[in-house]
Amino acid sequence: MKNKQLPTDGNGFLNNPHYRAILFQVVALAAVIFCGFYFANNMFDNIASRGISTGFSFLNNTAGFGISQTLIHYDDGTSTFLDVFIIGLLNTLLVSVLGIIFASIIGLLLGVARLSSNYLVSKLALVYIETFRNIPILLQILFWYNVVLAALPSPRQSLSYLDSVYLNNRGLLLPEPIFESGSLAILIAFVIAVLSVIFLVRWSRKRHDETGQDFPIVKVSLAILVIAPCLVYFVAGQPISAEYPELKGFNFKGGLTIIPELLALLFALSIYTATYIAEAVRAGIESVPKGQKEAAKSLGLKDYVILTKVVLPQALRVIIPPVINQFLNLTKNSSLATAIGYPELVTLFSGTTLNQVGQAIEIILMTMAVYLVISILISLLLNWVNAKMAIKGR
Amino acid sequence: MAIYTMKEAKPAPTGNRGVIFWLRENLFPDVKNSLLTLACLYILYTIIPPLLNWMIFDATWTGTKEEIVNSGARWIFIVEKFDQFIYGFYPENLHWRPNLVAILSVAFFISLNVISNNKVKITIILLFPIVCYTLISGGWFGLEAVPTEKWGGLMLTVLVAAVGIIASFPIGIVLALGRQSDMPIVKTLCIGFIEFVRGVPLITILFMASVLLPLFFHDGIEFDKLLRALIGITLFQAAYIAEVVRGGLQAIPRGQYEASEALGLSYWQGMILVILPQALKISIPNLVGSFISLFKDTTLVLIIGLFDVLAMVTLTNSDTNWLGFEVEGYVFVTLIYWVCCFSMSQYSKSIERKFNTEH
Amino acid sequence: MKVTKLALLMGMTALVPTLSHADTLDDVMKKGVLNCGVSTGIPGFSAADSKGVWKGLDVDYCRAVASAVFGDASKVKYFPLTAKERFTALQSGEIDLLSRATTWTATRDTSLGLTFAGVNYYDGQGFLVSTKLGVSSAKELDGATFCIQAGTTTELNLTDYFKSNGMEYKAVTYDTSGQTIDGFKNGRCDAVTSDASQLYGLKLKMDDPASVVVLPEVISKEPLGPVVRQGDEKWFKIARWALYATLEAEELGVSSSNVDAMLKSENPGVKRLLGVTGQHGKDLGLKNDWAYQIVKQAGNYGEMFDKNVGKDSPVKIDRGLNKLWNQGGLMYSMPVR
């Protein structure tokens, strides 16, 4: 359309596609601006005529309600709505990150199982995938929460493992690590170990490129990562101890409690998203032409080498983009927690806070903005990965 | 002259055929796989028999609540509350109206495939939603009006999904064309809308539709709660349809665009007659996938207080005579969703296969 | 083509300001139906039965206002709202009246653009616990976990109570009262805390109502009442006097069963209330028989109470503070004169 010769015979302004395009755009823009103006105008009118408070000053007011899971310090007497916002955001991120980890592990296993030569394994994985991806995620969340929670015992009849891990209808209780002075040294040791592993990997790759000799990189790296912090742990005089949960009064005191809402949500999100990841993994591996594997085999490469050096590098290019999209979906789906009361952003902020403060516009816009930022960050990551993985002609 | 006679092929060696061969090849080829097979069999053994017992053999199908003796599922709850699961609060003596709409829908889809006259087709397409709406909502032709608060259950679920699918389709196509267009402002507007909607969870859009939408209009203009949810869902779905259609548009070879221009077709003629029919055809599997997501997402309307089929589980369980039947309710609703989504996804797969062979 | 479109747009722009007005009574009359915000299900206050018919004390108040406005109690459209939707629904004009067991607090009365029309139930926050817990006082609940409904004054009161008594607690917050009671049934928490009136209703929703007990402590004042938008005095007064009329009728002994006979009563108070003498209805912008219609169709306060939450209901709450002022309660109508 752009490169068309403009008619010169003066056949009218509207018959010139160039001007027509401009006119069309102006009309479209005017319509959008008009609608925006109309809505904003009404909104301000309504706010003014009804005496609704506006602005973000409510964020500094004291919240004054209890929250069942807080990752940062929260005092229901003095903390503000801004703290509530941050806590909600952190809880959203917590469940998303944990969900992404579990969903990836389950999804990977399922995807591989789906391609297994073992008939039963492959069909079981298929049944799993077809079952869980065709049930709405909200229904799964409600099911795990309402049905499984009801089946768990009360705190006094907790299921226990080694008297340190307990499972009851108040959640999963784990020993909580207590960091005393000197635990910083362990952290430092760990960071140094990670850095040296990165260095080692680069060195071994370079050596492999130059000499063709392999270095047992996985084993050595793991050894460094485990041994270095352990060594420092004992040298520093065992500065990390554990606090065990104990039954006192109505409930367990001490220890780390993972609330049932988080458990149910994680369970449902991981199981559901894993089905999509599994399909992506399967499609990715199947996308590698059969000839590649056969060629590798005829070169005499071992199965393990074929998988890591021939199949996976090509499959990952197909697998990663849809998987990252699924990560974004999982994060967005975590907002359904509002149905079971897990204190994440939508529950705490668009729910409780909205009701205490009543400023719907500000609160819903802030909530949407958070998800938009997350999704923009994930798209940027996706673009970066795509650019990085693009086939580079050598 | 020697005559060649066909000899019957010898059967494969006994070691390479039959059930045993299949088992050995697929289940027990080596030690590792044999162990895996045994583990799978064990998993099946722990899940299937108790599940079947609970669902079928030990279940209670008829009778009254007091007569339950079996330990399995108590399906009498579903039988008792069936009407509520399907119709919500829709007046009992008017159930024939949604039923009639269901029959009409089937007839509608058949007639679309049978009738070849385009004018008749378009008339039917335009008339069908009006007839359905009149039948369900009433208020005209002597039909008793049924306010939307009384709509519920599976009827509401299907209605929300159907309206979402149908209404979002044209909007989605326009958005996709806008995103592919050469006009910078239109393009920016479309990209902005699509990326915004795809970036936020549906629940926040539903919140916005249910809580904020009335603030955007003046007093005189009123929206039904259901209508607001429908607007939210339609806009949400339109953004996803737009992306699917864009995929289809991008897959159409450049030559097709050029050919349509060379024929002297205008932009819209070219799009409607040449490009879109091809683009939509190859997007059908993805469109169906998007419809499945929408169908599953309709459950979210319960969070803004509409009584879809899932919300009915909670509601029927607050009946003091029928407490503690959540499991049966959830399983029933699960089955409904699973059957619908699974058949849709199989349909999309069959279409995909059909396309694959055409090339 | 384009020119006509542009002209249309401009025409619409010019039209917009004329649409604005804020006379609720006028709107309601035009619509022919009263949009009343109620709960998604609080037994005794507002709950839909299995046929979808709304019943309860708050619902009867909506019916009373509809009787006063239209002379027809059935001209009400009920909007079931969750706790968090209720204020925006009223602010945005979706509903004309919020009658949803809403506590009258300073914040709500001032910063939300709302006005409380009065109190139709004096309540207080209490605790519901399982008898298995062996607790007889709220003071013994140190360290307990509570199920609460989101966005209520309950959350704030609980914090205050436990702070002032130097005790600790954990809160699990749910969106609706249904989820809250489910959480309690599933053992997610040791106790439910809510307005005492609602706890009696929740008790009925338990599989075995005898297995739970409402503790004696009442830790807060919860005056529940109907709410209207700020800035429409006329509508506010209708809402307020519809409530007073139900109280005044009870005080004067006028009920739905004897209201027709009472039209001939010699009692000047009854005459004024029922519009036989005086102009009170006209002054409110209604018909003069407004209070007659309220009592005839929705009943007086005592009838509403007994039928929905009191002695004739499954909930059976003692009238307590909600008796009339001359019987030792707090219910006091400003004189209709």
Summarised one tens digit per residue, pLDDT across range B282-320 is: 888 889 999 999 999 999 998 888 888 988 888 887 776
- Residue for token pair 């629940």: B203
Per-residue pLDDT tens over the stretch A29-82: 899 899 888 888 888 887 777 777 788 888 888 887 888 888 888 887 788 999
Report DSSP letters for A251-307, one per residue.
EEESSEEE-HHHHHHHHHHHHHHHHHHHHHHHHHHHHS-HHHHHHHHHTT--HHHII
Per-residue pLDDT tens over the stretch B80-124: 888 888 988 888 888 888 889 889 988 888 888 788 788 888 888
Chain A residues touching residue C16 (CB < 8 angstroms): 38, 41
Which segment, B3-7, B115-119, C171-175, C242-246, is predicted with the most confidence on average? C242-246
For residue C229, give the 3-state DSSP assignment.
strand
Q: Which two tokens stand for residue C116?
A: 């409380």
| pLDDT surpassing 60 at residue C315 | yes
Q: B129: distance to nearest CA of chain A, Å?
A: 27
Per-residue pLDDT tens over the stretch C88-133: 788 877 889 999 989 898 888 887 888 999 999 999 999 999 888 8
Tell me the pLDDT of chain C averaged across its residues: 85
| Beta strand pairing call for C47-48 and C54-55 | antiparallel
Chain B residues touching residue C22 (CB < 8 angstroms): 219
**One domain for residues B205 and B157:** yes
- What Rg do the C-alpha atoms of chain A give, in angstroms? 28
Q: Cα–Cα distance between A235 and A212 in angstroms, integer?
A: 39
For residue C305, give the 3-state DSSP assignment.
helix
Residue B280 within a domain: yes
Q: B223: distance to nearest CA of chain C, Å?
A: 8
Contact C22, A49 (CB under 8 A): yes
Report DSSP letters for B152-188, one per residue.
-HHHHHHHHHHHHHHHHHHHHHHHHHHHHSS-HHHHH
**One domain for residues B94 and B166:** no
Q: Which two tokens stand for residue B131?
A: 């007839």
| pLDDT surpassing 50 at residue C20 | no
Q: Which two tokens stand for residue B275?
A: 């490009």
**One domain for residues B304 and B264:** yes
**One domain for residues B118 and B157:** no
Q: A with C: how many residue pairs have Cβ under 8 Å apart?
A: 146
Nearest C-alpha in B relative to C18: B218
CA C205 to chain centre: 21
**One domain for residues B112 and B200:** no
Q: Cα–Cα distance between B4 and A392 in angstroms, integer?
A: 59
Q: Cα–Cα distance between A232 and A222 in angstroms, integer?
A: 16
How much is the average pLDDT of A271-297? 92
Chain B residues touching residue A151 (CB < 8 angstroms): none
Eight-state DSSP code of residue C52:
S
Pick from C75, C79, C16, C23: nearest CA to C48:
C79
Q: Cα–Cα distance between B131 and A133 in angstroms, integer?
A: 34
Residue C190 and residue A53: Cβ atoms within 8 Å? no
Between these two residues, C239 and B69, which has the higher pLDDT value? C239
Q: Which two tokens stand for residue C285?
A: 């912008």
Between these two residues, A121 and B316, which has the higher pLDDT value? A121
- What pLDDT was estimated at residue A11? 57
Element housing C262 (H / E): helix C259-262
Share of chain B above pLDDT 90, in %: 26
| pLDDT surpassing 80 at residue B321 | no
Residue B214 and residue C79: Cβ atoms within 8 Å? no
Q: Cα–Cα distance between C174 and A145 in angstroms, integer?
A: 13
Element housing C40 (H / E): none
- Whether pTM exceeds 0.80: yes
Residue A147 and residue B327: Cβ atoms within 8 Å? yes
Element housing C164 (H / E): helix C153-164
Chain A segment 304-363 residues within 8 A of B by beta carbon are: 332-333, 335-336, 338-339, 346, 350, 354, 360-361
Buried b / exposed e across B285-301, counting CB within 10 Å, b at 16+? bbbbbbbbebbbbbbbb
| pLDDT surpassing 80 at residue B246 | yes
Residue B214 and residue C80: Cβ atoms within 8 Å? no
Contact A282, A115 (CB under 8 A): yes
Chain C residues touching residue A41 (CB < 8 angstroms): 16
Residue B290 within a domain: yes
- What Rg do the C-alpha atoms of chain B give, in angstroms? 27
Per-residue pLDDT tens over the stretch A125-147: 999 999 999 999 999 999 999 88
Tell me the pLDDT of chain B averaged across its residues: 86
Beta bridge pairs of residue C223:
C122
Q: Is C16 exposed, middle or buried (0-12, 13-18, 19+ CB in 10 A)?
A: middle
Pick from B246, B233, B249: nearest CA to B197:
B233
- What pLDDT was estimated at residue A116? 86
Q: B113: distance to nearest CA of chain A, Å?
A: 28
- What pLDDT was estimated at residue C14? 38
Q: Cα–Cα distance between C83 and C46 in angstroms, integer?
A: 13
Which segment, A328-332, C142-146, C185-189, is predicted with the most confidence on average? A328-332
**One domain for residues B141 and B248:** no
Q: Cα–Cα distance between A315 and A286 in angstroms, integer?
A: 8
Q: How many residues does chain C have?
A: 337
Q: Which residues contact B282 (CB under 8 A, 6 or more apart)?
A: B248, B251, B355
Chain B residues touching residue A24 (CB < 8 angstroms): 183, 186
How much is the average pLDDT of A279-286? 91
Q: Which residues contact B173 (CB under 8 A, 6 or more apart)?
A: B241, B242, B245, B276
Instruction: Provide the residue ranges of all domains of chain C, joining segments of one domain with +.
Output: 23-122+223-319, 125-220
Last residue of a domain, one of B96, B128, B151: B151
Residue B26 within a domain: no
In this complex, the chains that touch B, judged by 3 or more CB pairs closer than 8 A, are A, C
Chain C residues touching residue A30 (CB < 8 angstroms): 6, 9
Task: List the CATH number of the domain containing B252.
Answer: 1.10.3720.10
The phi-psi region of residue C121 (left if phi > 0; otherwise alpha if psi is between -120 and 50; otherwise beta) is beta
Q: Which domain holds residue B110?
A: 80-151
Report DSSP letters for A42-53, one per residue.
HHHHHHHHHT--
Residue B296 and residue A136: Cβ atoms within 8 Å? yes
- What pLDDT was estimated at residue C3? 41
**One domain for residues B215 and B326:** yes
Q: State the sign of the Cα–Cα–Cα–Cα dihedral C45, A352, A171, B327.
A: positive
Which of the listed CATH numbers 3.30.450.40, 3.40.228.10, 3.40.50.720, 3.40.190.10 matches domain C23-122+223-319?
3.40.190.10
Residue A147 and residue B299: Cβ atoms within 8 Å? no
- What pLDDT was estimated at residue C21? 44
Q: Which two tokens stand for residue A128?
A: 């799993």
pLDDT class for B219, splitting at 50, 70, 90?
Answer: low
Give the sheet arrangement for strand C191-195, strand by strand.
C170-174, C145-149, C191-195, C125-130, C212-214
Q: Cα–Cα distance between C276 and B60 in angstroms, integer?
A: 63
How much is the average pLDDT of B149-166? 90
Q: What share of chain A is helix, strand, coil (3-state, %, to 5)?
A: 70, 10, 25
- What pLDDT was estimated at residue A392? 62
- What pLDDT was estimated at residue B351? 82
Q: Which residues contact C152 (CB under 8 A, 6 or more apart)?
A: A355, C83, C103, C194
Among B19, B20, B200, the residue to mutate for chain A (most A Cβ within 10 A): B200
**One domain for residues B230 and B338:** yes
Contact C58, C78 (CB under 8 A): no
What total of structural domains would you count in chain B?
Answer: 2
Q: Cα–Cα distance between B342 and A132 in angstroms, integer?
A: 10
Q: Which residues contact B166 (CB under 8 A, 6 or more apart)?
A: B129
**One domain for residues B141 and B238:** no
Residue B74 within a domain: no
Residue B36 within a domain: no
Contact C161, C116 (CB under 8 A): no
Q: State the sign of the Cα–Cα–Cα–Cα dihedral B141, B143, B146, B148.
A: negative
Share of chain C above pLDDT 90, in %: 42
Q: A with B: how many residue pairs have Cβ under 8 Å apart?
A: 148
B95 close contact with C: CB closer than 8 A: no
Beta bridge pairs of residue A166:
A160, A173
Last residue of a domain, one of B131, B151, B171: B151
**One domain for residues B282 and B144:** no
**One domain for residues B133 and B225:** no
Pick from A334, A323, A322, A319: nearest CA to A97:
A334
Q: Cα–Cα distance between A216 and A311 in angstroms, integer?
A: 21
Per-residue pLDDT tens over the stretch C125-163: 999 998 888 888 888 888 888 998 876 778 888 888 888
φ, ψ dihedrals at B269, nearest 5°: -60, -45
For residue A161, give the 3-state DSSP assignment.
strand
Between these two residues, B252 and B69, which has the higher pLDDT value? B252
φ, ψ dihedrals at A258, nearest 5°: -100, 110
Q: First vs last Cα of chain B: how many Å apart?
A: 47
| pLDDT surpassing 50 at residue C10 | no
| pLDDT surpassing 90 at residue A368 | yes
- What pLDDT was estimated at residue B194? 93
CATH of span C125-220: 3.40.190.10
Pick from A259, A275, A276, A273: nearest CA to A145:
A259
Contact C297, C73 (CB under 8 A): yes
- What pLDDT was estimated at residue A234? 83
Residue B200 and residue A368: Cβ atoms within 8 Å? yes
- What pLDDT was estimated at residue B156? 92
Tell me the residue type at C68: A
| pLDDT surpassing 80 at residue A390 | no
Tell me the pLDDT of chain A averaged across its residues: 85
**One domain for residues B162 and B143:** no
Residue B225 within a domain: yes
Residue C85 and residue B222: Cβ atoms within 8 Å? no
- What pLDDT was estimated at residue C16? 38
Last residue of a domain, one of B151, B184, B205: B151
| pLDDT surpassing 70 at residue C52 | yes
Q: Cα–Cα distance between C184 and C200 in angstroms, integer?
A: 14
- What pLDDT was estimated at residue A264? 92
Cβ neighbour number for residue B137 with a 10 Å cutoff: 15
Contact A86, A348 (CB under 8 A): no
Q: Which two tokens stand for residue B116?
A: 């070849």
Q: Cα–Cα distance between A109 and A349 in angstroms, integer?
A: 36
